[in-house]
Structure 1
Amino acid sequence: MNNLDATDLRILELLQENAQLTTKEIGAKLQLSNTPVHERIKRLEREGFIRKYVALLNPQKLNRSLTAYCNVQLKEHSRPYLDKFEQEVTCLKEVVACYYIAGTFDYLLKVMVANMDEYHEFIAYKLASLDNIGHAQSAFVMKEIMESTALPLK
């Protein structure tokens, strides 16, 4: 895994569980002092293994309790059309993830909104207003069984 040793992997696991851990707390778990832990974390950041640190928010508390996955098929597939769609869709605040996919559809969007009325507004007045949309198909999350932001490292 690109010159990562067991200590690096353990640091990454710990940070995925809780990015607020201090170097002292990580060091205590690994039986290392602050300096080597700090140097390893800085190297992992510099080499791009750690992209950023974020807070995971509760969607229900923030009135974003409806999650929909929307498959989008474009009419045209030349690079300029794909680039334009990607640029436009990233400006839609309801879209929290967008994937370019293979198969029947071209893109998979993860959309989070307050309720079905807000989703209808999103589809009818935002997504449908983008150029080159051919077809969209939605699936709605009824119950979240499991979600993780942690990558498997072993």
Structure 2
Amino acid sequence: MDAVDKKILNELQNNAKQNTKQIAAKIGLSVTPTYERIKRLEKNGTIKKYVALIDREIIGKQIIAYCQITLFKHQKSLIDEFKKKMLDLYEVMECHHVSGNFDFLIKIVVNDMNSFQVFINEKLSVVEGISIIHSSFVLDSFKESTKYSL
């Protein structure tokens, strides 16, 4: 990946709806090489997919919680099963296997506190292998980004 690829990626992170001609003009390259570079970045997996970023409050997602999960044992079969279960829970926006005082950090986004209670009681706490769940609620979000520094 060279400096031109990084410029393309920055442009796409700023606005993925730009067409190739617009990107080419901003990075100082002609359209065809820009198009070819974008296709290569897609093919090699650097660009995974294109998405729309939605305002969660407009769609009624008022609660963000981070849950620290500790498993009974740090055993491969339990870890693999936990990961598999998290993939099926739409309320789980992120799941990270971490080092430190707990095993997993998950980001939960739900409509309201009642939805969170239902999620914890009926979905998360029934996952086999969980020993401890600690929850922290976001009071205010003043920086959220999906853009990587290149």
Q: TM-score normalised to the size of structure 1?
A: 0.94
Q: Counterparts in 2 of 1:3-82, with a 5 A limit?
A: 4-82=1-79
Once the 2 structures are TM-superposed, how far is the Cα of residue 77 of structure 1 from its aligned partner?
A: 1.6
Q: Which moved more, 1:105-114 or 1:39-48?
A: 39-48
Aligned match of 1:102: 99
- Matched with 1:139 is 136
2:109 to 109, 112, 130: 112
Distance in 2 between residues matched to 1:9 and 1:18, nearest whole Å: 14
Task: Give 3-state SS (helix, strand or coil) of 1:35's partner.
Answer: helix
Q: Runs (4+) of structure 1 moved beyond 2 Å?
A: none
Q: Which residue of 2 aligns with 1:87?
A: 84
Deviations 1:103-134 (A, max 9, x none): 11100000000111111111111101111110
Q: Counterpart amino acid of 2:89?
A: L
Please give the alpha-carbon distance, in whole angstroms, between the structure 2 residues aligned to 1:14 and 1:107.
33
Gapped regions of structure 2 (runs ≥ 5): none
Give me the whole-angstrom Cα distance separating, in 2, the residues matched to 1:25 and 1:146. 28
Aligned pair count reads: 150
* Per-residue CA distance 1:78-119 (angstroms, 9 max, x = gap): 111110111011111110110000011100000000111111
Cα separation, 2, equivalents of 1:90 and 1:148: 22
Structure 1 runs not aligned, ≥5 long: none
Distance, in Å, in 2 between the alignment partners of 1:54 and 1:76 is: 37
- CA RMSD, Structure 1 to Structure 2 (Å): 0.8
